[in-house]
Chains A and B, each alone.
Chain A
Amino acid sequence: MTLYILTCSFLALQSLLIGKLMHCRRQMKKNIALAEERSNQVQAIAHLGLWEYHQKEDVLKWSENAYRIFGFEPFSVEPTIEHFLSLIHPEDAEEVRVNFGKTCEDCRSVSFRVIRNDQSIRHVYFNCTQAISGTDQPVIMQGVIQDITEIIETQQKAAVHEKRFDAVFNNSLDAITLINENGELICESPAFNNMLGFKQGEITGIKHAELVHSCDQDNLRAFLSELHDNPGVARYRKLRMKHKDGGYVWAEGKAVNLLHDHNVKAIVTSFRDVTRTLKTETSLKQSEINLRNILEHADVGYVLLDTQFNVMAFNTLAAKYASDTLRVIIKEGTYGISYFPVDKQKMMISLFQKALNGKSANCEVSYPGQDDAPVWYGVRIQGIQQADGRITGVIMSLTDITQRKLHDLQRARITADLVKRNKDHEQFAYMVSHNLRAPLTNIIGLCDLLQSHDIEEAIRKEFIHGMMVSAMKLDGVIIDMHAILSVKQGQEEKKEQVSMKRLLEDVKSNLLIPQDLEVKITGDFSQADGFYVIKAYLYSVFYNLLSNGIKYRREGVIPELSVQSRVSGGQLELLFSDNGQGIDMDRYGEKVFGLYNRFHPEKEGKGMGLFMTRCHAEALGGSISVESYVNRGSVFKVELPL
């Protein structure tokens, strides 16, 4: 374009110059050479050449630069009309021939191509600017010829560029518009029309604000002011635009204020229809909110971890459990394993790893809760499986099962108690049939024999004595039964503060120790002495265990007995150790504390001592156990609740 303007101005300058030259030819002969040289320089710069045709003489003259335009060295050939015509591109020749005559008469111009000797093609502008005539007939025709190849090529390039731009503009998915300083649409891409349901050109020239949803007008104003304040900078926005059908679409994109650019003088906008994306996003968000709600209101604590066991998400309940029991505050994006106690981390890693490999795990764990009472959790660890089966993390669900666990424990206690009572019951039935009935059958048998007349006097006396012994034995069993039953019923008896040190002294003074027998009895109550208890029962425990220790001593070994008290796990533990004969636990283990069970037949005894000890320990809410080795001794452990 610039080049074209330049050329035109030179053309005007040229005509002026030529006119002057003709008029002053004779007067300014001295200056001719100089002027010609200048003329030649100007011609070369402007790609201009001059021509002159003397019709009468049929002489054609070219200026130096005219030769060059046609591809010749200046004055190297003799220019003729035929010669000139032969240079014209065959496709343009006819037009030139037709217009040649007219050219001079009407002072018209024509452009055509010439083919130079080296076969290169140049675009040439040709005109006839003036005719000088002596008579009415023009004698001399003259004009300029100009090489316009570069102009033509530039124009062609611009045309290609514009076509390409149009192709992009028309085929872009983005809805592109140019808006002028008045807010009117200069042009809009087909995608824009398509987005809003208009035909091409239908909305060109209207105010773009009319296309924006009424609810987004403030938004638009703010956007425009932003663009106005930041010329040349892209700004992004999302707003609703009116569709031709009365609905609206969500458009998202950017705009650049190029009003200051003289070549553009517009705000350029490029937007896309994001209605569907937004709808999908909205419904996704909604389902996420729904899911959150479900999670928050579940009775289960959930923690989601990624494949590296980092915490991805968790619900409030899980956070509460973590803070209540592990005393930690869990945070998203942190390493999940680190919240567990060090001694449990290895196990958790292994469980999580298994879950990643598709194996879920269930376990029950207990932690000391806020008031140190144990809190139980049912823990389930499983992989987070995607629709395509891939496992992309681990989900850990925690259920507070403390209540259930307490019930379980209570049930187990009740069951154990029932089993024990049942066993007691069986034992009682056994006792009735064996221990109670045996002396009675003796009495019956002896009575029967005494009824016969031929019985010797000595034998009769023996049998009467036997009856007496059996009756005494029967009475003994009944007394035992009463003792046992009164223990079972006597749990309401009064408790009192008992010093075990004093109790031991009391028991020691009442033990039946054979004369000449040395016995060592020691007591260690440094850890616990005072004890609130039913004194008679504790006395029975001390008395029975200590008297057993003496009774079942080893021959030739001085009996050494010790009593030690200690507090462990909220219980009072009493340890009674002896160095006596011991009990064959493999053989009698189950029977040690049974009624009328005896393990040393050579010693006098009913098998009541340890049974009564157990009864009394249990009546105090405790238990008794024993560790014993034959010929080494026994350690009885009595555990009583404090």
Chain B
Amino acid sequence: MKQELQIIIIDDDPIHSRVCSYLVSTLNKEIAIAEFSNAADAFASIKAGYTNKKKSASTAVLLNINMPGMSGWDFLDALRLLNPGKLQGLSVYVMSASLDPADRIKALSYDRVKAFFMKPVTNQIIRGIIADVSVL
């Protein structure tokens, strides 16, 4: 049985979001894509049960770190406080321009974070994420 997949892109940089969504669409047109330019809106949506519309769905969140208002770190902290039932099948992939190894270590310290990717985003990275989520 083929699984339902959805990808949520959270980044204040619209160009990066566009590149991501383009790459996803070239690989698999079936995947549902949601773009958020600020983390607070994305979080509210997840909290409201966005991911649970389809019980069998797996969700990949592509999360930027350095954003005005709610940062990527704030988002991850807030996520940790949510009921894990609402987050069934949700994986976070951090995508940052940061060169600081401390950011990678910090990101991976969150259980929900599956991987840390340094920008620029490539076809290969998106392919890897889709494959990763599909297996789950």
Residues on A lying within 8 angstroms of B by beta carbon are 429-430, 432-435, 437-442, 444-446, 448-449, 459, 462-463, 466, 469-470, 596-601, 605, 607
25 chain-A/chain-B pairs, Cβ below 8 angstroms: A429-B100, A430-B98, A434-B65, A434-B96, A437-B98, A437-B99, A442-B16, A445-B121, A445-B122, A446-B15, A446-B19, A448-B122, A448-B123, A459-B22, A463-B19, A466-B15, A466-B18, A466-B19, A597-B68, A598-B69, A599-B68, A599-B69, A601-B38, A601-B69, A605-B68
Looking at the assembled complex, report how far the CB atom of B130 sits from the nearest CB atom of chain A, in whole angstroms.
Answer: 17
- Decide if A448 touches B120 in the complex (CB within 8 Å): yes
**Chain A residues with CB below 8 A from B23, complex form:** 449
Contact pick for B98, options A433, A446, A448, A466, CB 8 Å: A433
- Complex Cα gap A601–B22 (Å): 25
Would A442 and B96 be within 8 Å (CB), given that A598-B69, A601-B12 are in contact? no
- Decide if A438 touches B22 in the complex (CB within 8 Å): no
**Chain B residues with CB below 8 A from A437, complex form:** 97-99, 119
- Complex Cα gap A243–B42 (Å): 115
Looking at the assembled complex, report how far the CB atom of B127 sits from the nearest CB atom of chain A, in whole angstroms.
Answer: 14
- Decide if B12 touches A449 in the complex (CB within 8 Å): no
Chain A, Cβ-Cβ closest to B122: A448
Q: State which residues 52-77 of B face A: CB under 8 Å.
A: 65-69
- Decide if B120 touches A441 in the complex (CB within 8 Å): yes
- Complex Cα gap A462–B96 (Å): 23
**Chain B residues with CB below 8 A from A600, complex form:** 68-69
Would A601 and B68 be within 8 Å (CB), given that A433-B98, A434-B96 are in contact? yes
- Decide if B22 touches A441 in the complex (CB within 8 Å): no
Contact pick for B68, options A432, A449, A463, A598, CB 8 Å: A598
**Chain A residues with CB below 8 A from B12, complex form:** 601
Looking at the assembled complex, report how far the CB atom of A629 sits from the nearest CB atom of chain B, in whole angstroms.
Answer: 19
- Complex Cα gap A532–B28 (Å): 66
Contact pick for A434, options B40, B66, B121, CB 8 Å: B66
Chain A, Cβ-Cβ closest to B100: A433
- Decide if B19 touches A449 in the complex (CB within 8 Å): yes
Other A-B pairs, 7, CB within 8 Å; known A437-B99, A440-B97, A470-B15: A433-B100, A437-B98, A437-B119, A438-B119, A442-B13, A449-B22, A599-B69
- Complex Cα gap A432–B65 (Å): 14
- Complex Cα gap A438–B22 (Å): 18
Chain A, Cβ-Cβ closest to B20: A445
Residues on B lying within 8 angstroms of A by beta carbon are 12-13, 15-16, 18-19, 22-23, 38, 40, 65-69, 96-100, 119-123
**Chain A residues with CB below 8 A from B121, complex form:** 441, 445
Would A442 and B68 be within 8 Å (CB), given that A429-B100, A433-B98, A448-B122 are in contact? no
- Complex Cα gap A598–B13 (Å): 14
- Complex Cα gap A266–B78 (Å): 116
- Complex Cα gap A422–B59 (Å): 40
Chain B, Cβ-Cβ closest to A597: B68
Chain A, Cβ-Cβ closest to B118: A441
**Chain A residues with CB below 8 A from B18, complex form:** 462, 466
- Complex Cα gap A254–B102 (Å): 98
- Decide if A434 touches B98 in the complex (CB within 8 Å): yes
**Chain A residues with CB below 8 A from B122, complex form:** 445, 448
**Chain B residues with CB below 8 A from A463, complex form:** 19
- Decide if B68 touches A441 in the complex (CB within 8 Å): no
- Complex Cα gap A134–B64 (Å): 177
- Complex Cα gap A435–B68 (Å): 12
- Complex Cα gap A448–B121 (Å): 10
**Chain B residues with CB below 8 A from A433, complex form:** 97-100
- Decide if A445 touches B100 in the complex (CB within 8 Å): no
Chain B, Cβ-Cβ closest to A432: B99
Looking at the assembled complex, report how far the CB atom of B60 sits from the nearest CB atom of chain A, in whole angstroms.
Answer: 18
- Complex Cα gap A469–B19 (Å): 14
Of the listed residues B15, B16, B18, B119, the one surrounded by the most CB atoms of chain A closer than 10 A to its CB is: B15
Looking at the assembled complex, report how far the CB atom of A228 sits from the nearest CB atom of chain B, in whole angstroms.
Answer: 107
Of the listed residues B13, B66, B120, B121, the one surrounded by the most CB atoms of chain A closer than 10 A to its CB is: B120
**Chain B residues with CB below 8 A from A605, complex form:** 68
Going nearest first, the 3 A-B pairs with the smallest beta carbon separation are A598-B68, A445-B120, A441-B119
**Chain B residues with CB below 8 A from A434, complex form:** 65-66, 96-98
- Decide if B68 touches A607 in the complex (CB within 8 Å): yes
- Complex Cα gap A605–B12 (Å): 12
- Complex Cα gap A436–B130 (Å): 29
Looking at the assembled complex, report how far the CB atom of B41 sits from the nearest CB atom of chain A, in whole angstroms.
Answer: 9
Looking at the assembled complex, report how far the CB atom of A515 sits from the nearest CB atom of chain B, in whole angstroms.
Answer: 27
Looking at the assembled complex, report how far the CB atom of A458 sits from the nearest CB atom of chain B, in whole angstroms.
Answer: 12
**Chain A residues with CB below 8 A from B40, complex form:** 601
Contact pick for A469, options B15, B66, B119, CB 8 Å: B15
- Complex Cα gap A429–B96 (Å): 14
- Complex Cα gap A598–B70 (Å): 10
- Complex Cα gap A448–B120 (Å): 10
- Decide if B120 touches A444 in the complex (CB within 8 Å): yes
Of the listed residues A440, A601, A605, A607, the one surrounded by the most CB atoms of chain B closer than 10 A to its CB is: A601
Chain B, Cβ-Cβ closest to A446: B19
**Chain B residues with CB below 8 A from A429, complex form:** 100
- Decide if B38 touches A445 in the complex (CB within 8 Å): no
- Complex Cα gap A442–B121 (Å): 8
Chain A, Cβ-Cβ closest to B103: A433
Looking at the assembled complex, report how far the CB atom of B90 sits from the nearest CB atom of chain A, in whole angstroms.
Answer: 23
- Complex Cα gap A76–B126 (Å): 171
Of the listed residues B16, B40, B96, B122, the one surrounded by the most CB atoms of chain A closer than 10 A to its CB is: B16
- Decide if A441 touches B69 in the complex (CB within 8 Å): no
- Decide if B69 touches A442 in the complex (CB within 8 Å): no
- Complex Cα gap A429–B38 (Å): 24
- Complex Cα gap A221–B58 (Å): 127
- Complex Cα gap A507–B70 (Å): 33
**Chain B residues with CB below 8 A from A607, complex form:** 68
Would A438 and B68 be within 8 Å (CB), given that A433-B99, A446-B19 are in contact? no
Of the listed residues B12, B23, B100, the one surrounded by the most CB atoms of chain A closer than 10 A to its CB is: B100
Looking at the assembled complex, report how far the CB atom of A469 sits from the nearest CB atom of chain B, in whole angstroms.
Answer: 6
- Complex Cα gap A568–B19 (Å): 56
- Decide if B38 touches A438 in the complex (CB within 8 Å): no
**Chain B residues with CB below 8 A from A435, complex form:** 66
**Chain A residues with CB below 8 A from B96, complex form:** 434
Chain B, Cβ-Cβ closest to A442: B15
Looking at the assembled complex, report how far the CB atom of A490 sits from the nearest CB atom of chain B, in whole angstroms.
Answer: 28
Looking at the assembled complex, report how far the CB atom of B75 sits from the nearest CB atom of chain A, in whole angstroms.
Answer: 13
Chain A, Cβ-Cβ closest to B65: A434
**Chain A residues with CB below 8 A from B65, complex form:** 434
